[in-house]
Every structure is written in C-alpha cells, then in structure tokens.
C-alpha cells in the first residue's frame, strides 16, 4: 500500500472539517469530490456559481439531466428544496458573505495564505481569473485541496507565490496527499500526516518552513 492519501481520501478528509449546516462552494477538480463524502449526521448545502443552491451528488449516467450542470460543466443533481436563480444573484450570495466555506484547487499557496490557482502566466493560459476571485474575497473560510507537489516534484506550498494571485492572505487550511496543513501567523503548521508519511518528508517537499503540530499558535478552526 502506497503512502499518502488518494484524491478521494483527500476529499473525504476535507469534508470532515466542514461544519454541519454550512453553505459550501466547491471548486473544479478534486474539490468536486467533496460532495460525495458528507460525514454521517451532518448536512451541507452546496452552492454553484451558475445558479443552484442545494446541489446534490453526481448522477448516474441514466439519471443525468442535460440541463443540470455545475459551474465546472459537470452533471449534478438537486436535493429536495433546492433553489435555482440567476448567476448575478449567485455572485451576490458570494460577495455578500453568505457562503461559509469554499474548497478550491490551486497551483500555489504561500505561507501567508496567498493563493494562485488560475494561471501560470504561460502564453496559452486562460485569460482571466473568473469566479475564484470573488470566492476568495467573499467566502468566510477558504480551504484548498491539492497534490503537495507538481508532477515535476516542485512544491505547491511555497514561501511566496510566483504565479499571478487569485487572492492575498485568504487560505486557512490546506489538504494535500501528504498532510493537512494550517496557515498561521507564523507560516505553515502541520495538523495531520497522511498514513505512511513522515514529517521529514512533508518538510522536504514544502517550499517554505513548516511547524510541527506541537509548535506555533493554534489557528481559528472549530
């Protein structure tokens, strides 16, 4: 058995830290998997930028409604009591501070909570930051799910982002295939190691100093 968490295990671990009754927005990619792992006894109300509150889990192929997709163009379901609305109203919910948690993917997260998740600056990169810019400013708590390193082995948790920022100082907790890491006033702090992973391995693969769990101030996570 290989060390670390799979994409699904990362999503399940992130879901454990979402409080009961939270209004939650999920980014594209690994964050979308979080919707499959609601802990027993809890209820999350999922929001998508294109105008749905009460998004359910992905449908089977036979259950697909061709008119029902999330902002990532993936088929979804709607739970009983779900509401549909214009995307302008959807962004009013985001900008008005009515969404409790957002789970995003990323290219880089800095030790001060900066996030870069929309462009590497490459000539063929997408032309604009999109809704993520609103999410990181309007949502009460920003979580990130990402592989700890790139395919080339470069750290994604860094001292300072070298890519264009989506938001400054907004990330509070990071879930990777190796660990759960908090962003604190003193930088990165380890919360939990994935099975089979050592602190030394996480330290080696992190592009900034990282505090072990017994050091540094506690962060404001319930």
The residues annotated with a catalytic role in the active site are 49
Residues present in the chain in total? 222
Residues whose CB falls within 8 Å of the CB of residue 96, separated by 6 or more in sequence, listed in order: 138
Helix (H) or strand (E) holding 108: strand 108-110
Q: Quick check: helix, strand or coil at residue 187?
A: strand
Residue 119: burial class (beta carbons within 10 Å; 0-12, 13-18, 19+): middle
């Amino acid at each position: 058995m290989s060390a670390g968490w799979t994409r699904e295990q990362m999503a399940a671990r992130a879901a454990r830290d979402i409080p009961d009754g939270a209004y939650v927005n999920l980014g594209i990619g690994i964050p979308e998997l979080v919707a499959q792992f609601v802990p027993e006894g809890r209820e999350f109300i999922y929001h998508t930028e294109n105008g749905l509150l009460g998004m359910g889990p992905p449908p089977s192929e036979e259950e697909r409604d061709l008119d029902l997709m999330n902002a990532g163009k993936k088929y979804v379901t709607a739970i009983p009591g779900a509401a549909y609305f214009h995307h302008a109203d959807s962004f009013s919910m985001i900008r008005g501070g009515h969404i409790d948690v957002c789970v995003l993917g990323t290219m880089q997260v800095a030790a001060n909570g900066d996030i870069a998740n929309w462009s590497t600056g490459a000539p063929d990169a997408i032309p604009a930051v999109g809704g993520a810019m609103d999410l990181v400013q309007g949502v009460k708590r920003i979580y990130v799910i990402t592989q700890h390193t790139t395919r080339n082995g470069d750290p994604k948790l860094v001292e300072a982002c070298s890519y264009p920022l989506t938001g400054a100082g907004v990330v509070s907790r990071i879930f990777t295939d190796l660990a759960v890491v908090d962003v604190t006033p003193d930088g990165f702090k380890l919360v939990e190691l994935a099975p089979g992973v050592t602190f030394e391995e996480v330290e080696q693969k992190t592009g900034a100093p990282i505090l072990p769990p017994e050091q540094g101030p506690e962060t404001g996570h319930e």
